[in-house]
Amino acid sequence: MNKEASAVETHELFDYINDPLNAQQVKEVLGDTLIQEPEERALPDNRQQLILDRIFNHQSLPAKKFKHRVPGWVKLAAAILLFVLPGIYFLKNNNPKLAALSAINKPKQIDVQPGGNKAILTLGDGSKIVLDSAQNGLLAHQGNTKIVKSANGHINYDQTAKGNTTAIYNTMTTPRGGKYDLQLSDGTKVWLNASSSITYPIAFSGTERRVTITGEAYFEVAKNKEMPFKINVNGQEEVQVLGTHFNIMAYSDEAAVKTTLLEGSVKIVKDKLTSMLKPGQQAQLTTDGKLSVTDDADINAVMAWKNGQTLFVNEDIKTIMRQISRWYDIDVEYQGEMPTRLFTGGISRESNLSILLKVLELNKIHFKMAGKKLIVTP
């Protein structure tokens, strides 16, 4: 319905529509006129367009069907990605068929609320502001810069007059189970994932704009050819940009720092190693100092956290659990030998932990909770 589906996503939709197992469900929504026998389904391209036209013009669909029940594939078409509330689609062992799970909303003993907007702002004088409980409006006035919390919870740095205030640095830190976003004084927008931080001057001057991050952050850098934007990552890697959109994932418990470019260009610098990225590419700097570039980064997976989703694409259970631990603010313990198979799937980030665990349990992974510790068994 957003008309943003990629070719792969459109193919998944029609795979679902054309699957004989879903014929009755599809017929209820599309009616008889667009449903064909299996041997005919590969024929007309115009049939696909007719179906898409009917989806886009949803008022032409049977009113009762939409009033009482929206089938999963229609929700998939509307949402574009694999995320539907409260439905979840999960691909088991890289199976390309989407499986709608119907039992996920049942009450469960293990339940933890998802994370939300939580962060602490440390000012240049060392004082701290708990942002999730701070009132909207002016938070502080440092040098020539006002720090304002807007009605939608964003933090903005407004420089009221020219002046050299770059010696004043602030740090925004998100805990486990937290996220936050801010706009720097130059107009650059930054989104922080859970367990992350960014340190930055309250106003930029001189020949460059420089910040430091830990954890994961997404940047939309304001263009300024006279002042390149530079990011120190964990005190090791440097990312140099002029104006661009990109994501950096640099958690200390991950095997590599991953910088993924969505728009523009960035230069990765590590000692004598350098790499210039193009949109769609991802640079990976491993813990042993090796730098490599992937040409076909999964942008949907990279940007899922910022877009309110939890998404795993060909990930093992321990990688999944690290992400869960950060967002739900829990510890994880493993008992027994974990399976080596890979999982792909997704869920809204607003969902309780029990819903996500139900998906994994259907894939023969088991859990029990002891306080804030999640015990995982095969």
- Give the domain ranges of the chain: 7-80, 81-111+307-378, 116-301
Q: What is the pLDDT of residue 7?
A: 61
Q: 116-301 belongs to which CATH class?
A: mainly beta
3-state secondary structure of 278: coil
- Going from the C-alpha of 347 to that of each of 67, 85, 104, 175, 313, the distances in angstroms are 24, 8, 11, 21, 12
Percent of the chain with pLDDT over 90: 48
Question: Candidates 3.55.50.30, 3.30.1490.20, 3.40.50.410, 3.30.565.10; correct CATH number of 81-111+307-378?
Answer: 3.55.50.30
Which residues does 39 contact at the CB level (< 8 Å), separation at least 6? none
Question: Model confidence over 151-186: pLDDT tens digits?
Answer: 888 999 988 766 555 589 999 999 999 999 999 999
Q: Over the chain, what is the mean pLDDT?
A: 79
E-assigned strand segments in 221-290: 229-233, 237-241, 245-250, 256-263, 266-270, 273-277, 282-286
Contact criterion met (CB below 8 Å) for 113 and 350: no
Between 32-46, 128-142, 254-268, the lowest mean confidence (pLDDT) is in 32-46
Q: What is the pLDDT of residue 205?
A: 85
- Going from the C-alpha of 114 to that of each of 193, 353, 359, the distances in angstroms are 13, 7, 16
Percent of the chain with pLDDT over 70: 73
Provide the pLDDT confidence category of residue 281 given band limits of 50, 70 and 90.
very high
Provide the pLDDT confidence category of residue 31 given band limits of 50, 70 and 90.
low
Between 17-26, 123-132, 148-157, 368-377, the lowest mean confidence (pLDDT) is in 17-26
Q: What is the pLDDT of residue 161?
A: 62
Q: What is the pLDDT of residue 143?
A: 83
Measured between alpha carbons, how far is 77 from 80 in angstroms, rounded to an integer? 5
Residue 89: pLDDT over 80: no
Q: What is the pLDDT of residue 377?
A: 92
E-assigned strand segments in 2-127: 89-91, 99-100, 116-117, 120-122
Between 87-91, 275-279, 338-342, the lowest mean confidence (pLDDT) is in 87-91
Question: Model confidence over 318-335: pLDDT tens digits?
Answer: 999 999 999 999 999 999
pTM of this prediction exceeds 0.95: no
Sign of the Cα pseudo-torsion (334, 340, 341, 342, in order): positive
Residue 329, burial from CB neighbour count under 10 angstroms (0-12, 13-18, 19+): buried
